[in-house]
Chains A and B, each alone.
Chain A
Amino acid sequence: MSFQILLNLFLAFLWMFLSSNYSLSRFIIGFLLGLALIIAFRKFFKSRLYIDRVWSVIKLSFLFIKELILANVSVLVLVLRPRLELQPAFFKYDTKLTEDWEITLLSSLITLTPGTVVVHVSDDSKSLYIHVLDSNDIDETIDSIKNTFEKAILEVSRS
């Protein structure tokens, strides 16, 4: 992946030197041409295309914004109810993620979507301890985390 980015930059510089015109527009044209070449010869690389990964990151950020709005609306509904019928609870969530940055990102995403707060990461970094506002639908919460955030982060990090 980083090799592909370096190759693309190298091709862009090569394009600038070939046309001996050292301006930004030349560089951008060279970069786009290099990108087209890399996409055309994608069978040569062992890992997936880096542009694919960039697209996954963009999708993840949009997913995060969507979830943030939805969850805040649900907390608003909870607050405005005349009678609070909450059942707070802690539960353990086993995660498939291994890298430090993945765990940090997942924890931040879970914490920033209201109703759930990550309070502790286990010592072997295999499970997160999460405080949930309403324990009536814990399985639903776990499923939603698994199918949205964790899936999107795995989508970004798979090679």
Chain B
Amino acid sequence: MKTNDVIMQFTAKLVFFIIFFFAVHLFFAGHYTPGGGFVGGLVTASAIVLLIIAFDLKTVQTILPINYINMVAIGLILALGTAAFSMFTGKPFFTHYYDYFNLPILGKTSLHTAALFDLGVYLVVVGVTMTIIQTIGEDE
């Protein structure tokens, strides 16, 4: 029996973008204020889960055709690569580099390699959470 979920589906479509933006904000806020890769990844995963609840697994997979297991692999390579990069220059493992750059629009910005490591963490968290939920959800 299919009920008419017009309210739920429309609201989910709208709220998804708000939650996703909040997740990106959390990710970038992590260096100086509370937040970071782990929380951002979990909030992103929760936004996708909201879509899955409002629609269904197959619809969401056609909307977001992401292979989450590959996402975990890419995240691990990013995190390890950022950590191992300094070994090639004779510095210890996990030495981070940062500097201030004058970007064309943003002006003076501090770029830190810890952000790349955080991006790896973010991808791993999103991938693992979504893999768990999809694997459980597909079991009929």
B95 within 8 Å of A (CB atoms): no
Contact partner of A120 (CB less than 8 A), chosen from B2, B3, B9, B10, is B3
Which of A32-40, A80-88, A121-129 lines the interface with chain B? A121-129
A41 within 8 Å of B (CB atoms): no
A82 CB → nearest B CB, Å = 37
Number of interface residues of B (CB under 8 A): 8
Chain B residue numbers with a CB within 8 Å of A118 are: 7
A44 within 8 Å of B (CB atoms): no
A11 within 8 Å of B (CB atoms): no
A100 within 8 Å of B (CB atoms): yes
Chain A residue numbers with a CB within 8 Å of B59 are: none
A-B contacts counted at CB < 8 A amount to 25
Which of B1-52 touch A at CB < 8 Å? 2-4, 6-7, 9-11
Which of A99-135 touch B at CB < 8 Å? 100-101, 103-104, 107-108, 118, 120-123, 125
A111 CB → nearest B CB, Å = 9
Inter-subunit contact B6/A100 (CB<8 Å)? yes
* B contact face: mostly helix, strand, loop, or mixed: helix
Chain B residue numbers with a CB within 8 Å of A122 are: 4
A128 CA to B29 CA, complexed, in Å: 43
0 or 1 for each of A65-109: is its CB under 8 Å from B? (1 = yes): 000000000000000000000000000000000001101100110
Inter-subunit contact A125/B7 (CB<8 Å)? no
A108 CA to B2 CA, complexed, in Å: 22
Chain A residue numbers with a CB within 8 Å of B10 are: 100-101, 103-104
A107 CA to B9 CA, complexed, in Å: 13
A90 CA to B58 CA, complexed, in Å: 35
Chain A residue numbers with a CB within 8 Å of B6 are: 100, 103-104, 121, 125
Inter-subunit contact B7/A107 (CB<8 Å)? yes
Pick the most buried of B2, B4, B6: most chain A CB atoms within 10 A of its CB.
B6
Q: Can you report 20 residue pairs joining A to B where beta carbons are below 8 Å apart?
A: A100-B6, A100-B9, A103-B6, A103-B7, A103-B10, A104-B6, A104-B7, A104-B11, A107-B7, A118-B7, A120-B3, A120-B4, A121-B6, A121-B7, A122-B4, A123-B2, A123-B3, A123-B4, A125-B4, A125-B6
**Which B residues have a C-beta under 8 Å from some C-beta of A?**
2-4, 6-7, 9-11
